[in-house]
Homo-oligomer: A and B are copies of this chain.
Amino acid sequence: MNLWLNRLVPSVPADLTGPADLARYELNNAGIRAEFNENSAMGDAWRVEPRLDGSFLLTGGQTGLLYASYRLITGLVCGEEFLGSLSSAPKYALRMINCWDNMDGSIERGYAGRSLFFRDGRISYDPDRMRTLGRAMASAGLNVLCVNNVNVHDPAQRLLEDFLPGLAALADLFRPFGVRLMLSIDFSQPMRHGVSSADPLDPAVRAWWKETAARVYAAIPDLAGFLVKADSEGRPGPFSYGRNHADGANMLAEALKPFGGYVVWRCFVYNCRQDWRDTRTDRPKAAWDHYACLDGTFAGNVILQVKHGPFDFQVREPLSPLLLGMKHTNLAMEIQLAQEYTGHQIDLYTMIPMWKELFDELPADSIMSIAAVSNLGDDENYTGHPLAAVNLYTYGLMAWDPETDAKEAVTRWIRLTYRFAPEQEQTLAGLLLSSRRIYEKYTAPLGIGWMVTPHSHYGPNPSGYEYDLWGTYHKADRNAVGIDRTHAGTGYLDQYPESFRTKYGDPAVCPDLFLLFFHRLPYSFRMKDGRTLIQRIYDDHFEGLEETRDLARELAAIPFPEPDATVIRARMKLQLYNAGEWCDVINTFFHRLSGVPDDRGRIIYD
């Protein structure tokens, strides 16, 4: 199983000297003749010029040559013709995968087996699978791999010390693929080494981090940097010392600067102990409230990594205002390939339509990097559901070029992965592209999110988080549902630029799918198409279930090879059950509250 590279040679040698060497190997095996014109100033960028003799001239940095080669090879597999010259450069400098792997081998929010990197408290991997992953990343244009969970527990707290030689070996392994390692670190790390605090303004702390950085970079000279989750969900951070996050991030940045490393600082700070009775606090406001005032105060090698939405990877969230308002700060947008709230890699959920929507709202220059929480594990097929691999591949294409066409990207993945007839390719592409909207329909309605089984985050539980501490409430009662987040309500919408306030502020104008994210509305509210809100909730859920049945039927007609066919069939059976539960539970929940019957007389259980 080689992800989408099954039609290339099964493996690459273990003794590659670098990306250009790998490029040559792959091109040779694909029967492509090419001359390399290495230009290190071009870095990841590349140019391909076809020659009359059927060979190609490739120009670029070492990694550029590699990316150009994969572009040629995968294009060939997909039946593309290269008649004119072609050039490309990535839109974002760091195109990152964040693995939430723990050293005991478990994966936080992992749905594809155990860790590929760790087992029983130590580094443990299959070098062949690492190279497969490296090829897959390179072929998709991804260049940074953070191997350990942002929640850094023991023994991962000793990665920078006891496990450094093992990490260096792993970095060596990934280097020919143009993939640089990154490490999640624990902000209180110095305190495990005799330093009396982790205060970022304490000279002893700063000295410790400088020495540590020097030691780490001596072992891994091209480490991409440190990923930090601080002061979030119980993790330690600068707040403990009355410092702000610029103090914390800049202190680490100072230590990494001599080595060209980045500090990637996650902006996932909120009060995860909010009392449900507290109506003044509104969790989506938290990131802006914490960080906007710090704009312009971060060092040049700090990147703030901001989740795409203000909550936490729900099916539908507006773009985080922080991504729009930090003009003088390096930003990375964080998305989640792991299907935590989006079906656990059981339900089909292809993400690229969602990313396209995000980029429609996000000026491309607002961010300089992009990160995705990994959907990988040690399952034979790497992603649990074979069709979940489309998310990893198309993420790479989007991270390189956010203007990538969704349908082209998905079709490209299908052609690389399977050998189907053109009409089957078209059908499958259509199913994948529709899967997110179907999932959205049968789960929580119209942007409200969170009606999910607490903790596991699979299956319906309309009030599971309602009386809890996480700040994620719908406050549905007999008359209305939702939180007013406009100026008249919690004021969350005030964090946005004028164009967003106009778009979302008035329920008569606000796009339907965001209605309940921004507004509290009575069930009798008239939607733009004349339906009432409650009828729209019922309709979406019945349609979502019906469309899942159609999806299952159409998918069953596609001749997937084994073992994919069996896995897809088994998971679709679970998805059908899940969709049925969601449809009935959500409809009953709202019917009990509203008392309004379905205007088409479909069954809503008591």
Residues of A470-518 at the interface with B, using a CB-CB cut-off of 8 Å, are 475-479
Which residues on B sit within 8 Å (CB–CB) of A276? 605
Please indicate the chain B residues that have their CB under 8 angstroms from the CB of A464 in the complex.
464
- Assess the A585–B467 pair: CB atoms within 8 A: yes
- Any B CB within 8 A of the CB of A40: no
Closest B residue to A476 by CB, please name it: B592
Q: How far is the CA of A460 from the CA of B463 in the complex (A)?
A: 12
Cβ B588 vs Cβ A478 within 8 A: no
Note all chain B residues with C-beta closer than 8 A to A478.
478, 592-595
Question: B277 touching A584 by the CB < 8 A rule?
Answer: yes
CB of A606 within 8 A of CB of B475, answer yes
A461 at the B interface (CB under 8 A):
yes
Q: Does A462 contact B (CB under 8 A)?
A: yes
CB neighbours (8 Å) of A6 from chain B are: none
Task: Please measure, in the bound complex, the distance between the C-alpha atom of A348 and the C-alpha atom of B605, giving whole angstroms.
Answer: 39
* Residues of B with C-beta under 8 A to A462: 463, 467
Chain B residues with Cβ under 8 A from A524's Cβ? Answer: none
A279 within 8 A of B: yes
Q: Are A277 and B467 in contact (CB under 8 A)?
A: no
For A592, list chain B residues within 8 Å (CB): 475-478, 593
A263 to B209, CA, bound (A): 69
In whole angstroms, how far apart are the Cα atoms of A462 and B592 in the complex? 14
Contacts of A594 in B (CB 8 A): 478
Closest to A592 in B: B477
Q: How many residues of A contact B (CB 8 A)?
A: 26
In the complex, which of the residues B277, B588, B593 contacts A605, with contact meaning CB atoms closer than 8 Å? B277
Query: In the complex, how many angstroms separate the beta carbon of A338 from the nearest chain B beta carbon?
Result: 25
A window 365-408: CB within 8 A of B: none
Complex contact B277–A595 (CB within 8 A): no
A467/B475 in contact, CB under 8 A: no
CA distance A605 to B460 in the complex (A): 24
| Interface residues of A, dominant DSSP | loop
Give every chain B residue within 8 A of A581 (Cβ-Cβ).
Answer: 467
Q: How far is the CB of A345 from chain B (nearest CB, A)?
A: 24
Interface positions, chain A 555-606, Cβ under 8 Å from B, are 581, 584-585, 588-589, 591-595, 605-606
A467 with B477: in contact, given A279-B606, A592-B593, A605-B277 (CB under 8 Å)? Answer: no
Residues of chain B contacted by A476 (CB below 8 angstroms):
592
Minimum distance in angstroms from A103 CB to a CB of chain B: 25
Interface residues as binary, A115-148 with B (CB distance below 8 Å gives 1, 0 otherwise): 0000000000000000000000000000000000
* A467:B588 contact, CB within 8 angstroms: yes
Q: How far is the CA of A478 from the CA of B584 in the complex (A)?
A: 18
Most chain B CB inside 10 Å of its own CB: which residue of A476, A581, A584, A605: A605
> A588 CA to B584 CA in the complex, in Å?
24
- From known contacts A463-B462, A475-B606, A606-B475, infer whether A593 and B593 are also in contact, taking CB-CB under 8 Å: yes
Taking a contact as CB atoms closer than 8 A, the residue among B460, B593, B595 that contacts A467 in the complex is: B460
What's the Cα separation between A524 and B581 when bound, in Å?
Answer: 32
For the complex formed, measure the closest distance between the CB of A118 and the CB atoms of chain B, giving whole angstroms.
27
Q: A277-B584, A475-B606, A478-B594 are in contact. Are A467 and B461 (CB under 8 A)?
A: yes
Residue of B nearest to A475 (CB): B606
Residues of A429-453 whose CB lies within 8 A of B:
none
Chain B residue nearest to A593 (CB atoms) is B478
A597 to chain B, nearest CB (A): 12
Minimal beta-carbon separation of A275 from chain B (angstroms): 9
Looking at the assembled complex, report how far the CB atom of A403 sits from the nearest CB atom of chain B, in whole angstroms. 43
Q: Which residues of B contact A591 (CB under 8 A)?
A: 477
B-facing residues in A515-556 (Cβ within 8 Å): none
CB atoms of B584 and A477 under 8 A apart = no
Q: Smallest Cβ distance from A512 to chain B, in angstroms?
A: 24
What residues of B have a CB within 8 angstroms of the CB of A477 in the complex?
591-593, 595, 606
A-B contact pairs, 8 of them (CB 8 A): A277-B605, A464-B464, A467-B581, A467-B589, A477-B606, A478-B478, A478-B593, A479-B595
Contacts beyond the supplied A467-B584, A477-B593: 16 A-B pairs with Cβ under 8 Å? A276-B605, A277-B584, A279-B606, A462-B463, A462-B467, A464-B464, A467-B581, A467-B588, A467-B589, A476-B592, A477-B592, A477-B595, A478-B592, A479-B595, A592-B593, A593-B593
Q: Which 3 A-B pairs have the closest CB atoms?
A: A477-B592, A478-B478, A277-B605
